[in-house]
Structure 1
Amino acid sequence: MAVLVVTDPESQHEAAFPPVAPSSILSRLRLETRGEHDAVEQVLDLMGGSLTHQSYRQRLEQFYGFYAPLEKALQSHGKSPPDIADRPHGAYKPPLSEAISSALAARLNKTAHLQQDLHHFGVLTDGLLLCRDLPPLGTQAEVLGCLYVMEGATLGGRMITQHVRATLGITPMTGGCFFEGYGDDTGRMWQGMRQLLVSGSTDTQAENSIVTNAITTFARLRGWCETFPKTARQRDHAPCLKT
């Protein structure tokens, strides 16, 4: 998402990174998200020959508007007050497993990377629009479905890094930190994500929820990018809120 995703995380890297134990969840995600994955790729068009510094910067603004509120929502997931009864009605979210909580802590750095890149181009993020039509994150399975999209995007991001370096002269230190992902650790982090998906698909209901929310995450990102105004501080043309 990045994408988010500009390449298929399963097929693109299957040979480079040995697969985890066979699992229907990995196959289902690859196959059932294909339509929305391809639709997002077409909207973003980050690998096309027409990419300019201006359009690249706008893509960063779009990603920031999606990732900033999404990472904030993921960070707050499972943080319960001492007395759950004090929460507003319907605000309680079941706690995440220790493995998923640890995975989130290590992975929710995309907003900071986008801020770094945008600041390099002279863009202040305080006034940028933020998406409010986010994917649901009410259950552990929904969190995993969302993470599948976010983490799969880091694989495609490495390809974008090479492309923008060659065509625009942009490096991870000069506006391309976001797409660099985890650098040399990207493959290892993706393998960890795949293991989480396998362990989290405990039954058919959980598996269905993971797949459904992965599709939803792609769709919400696509909708955000399609309606994102050419001027990121205009509020009248996109489902958004201000920072």
Structure 2
Amino acid sequence: MRAATSTIHERLHHHPGLAAVQSGTIGKAAYTALLCRLYGFHQPFERTRKLSPERTNWLNRDLIDLGVDPTALAALPRAAAFPVNASPDYLLSARYVVEGSALGGRGLARQLDGLLGSGVTAGRRFFTGHGAQTGAVWRAYLDQVSRVPPGPSTRTAVVAGATDTFAIFEQWLEGWNDRHD
């Protein structure tokens, strides 16, 4: 999965919003817009995958802490491109995108001190994620993936799940800051 997704993964490192968080130069309006866009991806992703709404809940709390009204939060646009009737291997590998992003999220969380204040958790729960347990959660996910039986059709489904989800994510992030430039 890593090799198949490396190009799009690298492009996402240069996404203007994520890069601004990484460099510590993002303003509050742009940061809020980025989190709104992330919410619009993760909420339907977790729902269609029948996952615990961890990321949705973290984003919900962050957005409310940043002043987004709950009514406005409920009205945010949502990504709708997630396949619903995919194979279990495809669905498992689709999680590669969100589980892997948690590793980078911890570094991004540290870069928000200038915007949110040093040691303040409000507004950065999403990027903090599982905190010190993030590595353990990632390893548990990789263990699940490693137990997928080998074979050409399985490999195809696994690669497609990860690459399709990265593509949906990248496309969804387009226009993230249209109203906040």
Aligned: 1:149 with 2:97: yes
Q: Tell me which protein shows more helix as a share of its residues.
A: 2
Pick aligned residue for 2:115 from 145, 168, 171? 168
Q: Which has the larger radius of gyration?
A: 1
- Residue in structure 1 matching 2:40, options 44, 65, 74: 65
CA drift of 1:136 comes to 5.6
Distance 1:172 1:133, change over 3 A: farther
- The residue number in structure 2 matching 1:217 is 165
Q: Which residue of 2 aligns with 1:39?
A: 11
Q: Does the 8 Å CA contact 1:40/1:218 hold for their aligned counterparts?
A: no
Within the alignment, does 1:207 sit opposite 2:179 as a pair? Answer: no
Residue 55 to residue 116, structure 1, CA distance change in 2 (3 Å): same
Query: Over the residues paired in the alignment, what is the CA RMSD in angstroms?
Result: 2.0
Is residue 113 of structure 1 aligned with residue 61 of structure 2? no
Given that residues 116 and 123 in structure 2 are in contact (C-alpha distance below 8 angstroms), is that contact kept between their aligned partners in structure 1?
no
Partner SS state of residue 105, structure 2: helix
Give, in whole Å, the separation in 1 of the partners of 2:25 and 2:149.
41
Amino acid at match of 2:5: T
* Structure 1 unaligned regions, length at least 5: 1-28, 76-103, 233-243
Q: Return the alpha-carbon distance in structure 1 between the equivalents of residues 135 and 22 of structure 2.
A: 21
1:82-135 Cα deviation digits (max 9, x unpaired): xxxxxxxxxxxxxxxxxxxxxx45xx4100110000000111311111111235
Identical pairs, percent: 27
What aligned pairs does 1:1-243 form with structure 2 within 5 A after superposition?
29-43=1-15, 44-45=18-19, 46-75=21-50, 104-105=51-52, 108-123=53-68, 124=70, 125-134=73-82, 138-165=86-113, 167-170=114-117, 173-228=121-176, 230-231=178-179
Using the size of structure 1 for normalisation, the TM-score is 0.66
Q: In the TM superposition, what whole-angstrom CA distance separates every residue of 1:119-164 from its partner, at most 9, and x where no partner exists?
A: 0011131111111123565111111121111100110010011111
**SS of corresponding position for 2:78:** strand
Normalising to structure 2: TM-score of the pair? 0.87
Structure 2 segments unaligned to the other structure (5+ residues)? none
SS at match of 1:146: helix
After superposition, the Cα gap between the structure-2 partners of 1:58 and 1:137, relative to the gap in structure 1 and judged at 3 Å, is: farther
SS of the residue corresponding to residue 179 of structure 1 reads helix
Partner-residue secondary structure (3-state), 1:50: coil
Distance (whole Å) between structure 2 residues aligned to residue 74 and residue 36 of structure 1 = 22
Letter in 2 for 1:184: A
How many Å separate the matches in 2 of 1:163 and 1:135?
Answer: 34
Counterpart contact for 1:136–1:142, Cα < 8 Å: no
Give the secondary-structure state (helix, strand or coil) at the position aligned to 2:86.
Answer: coil
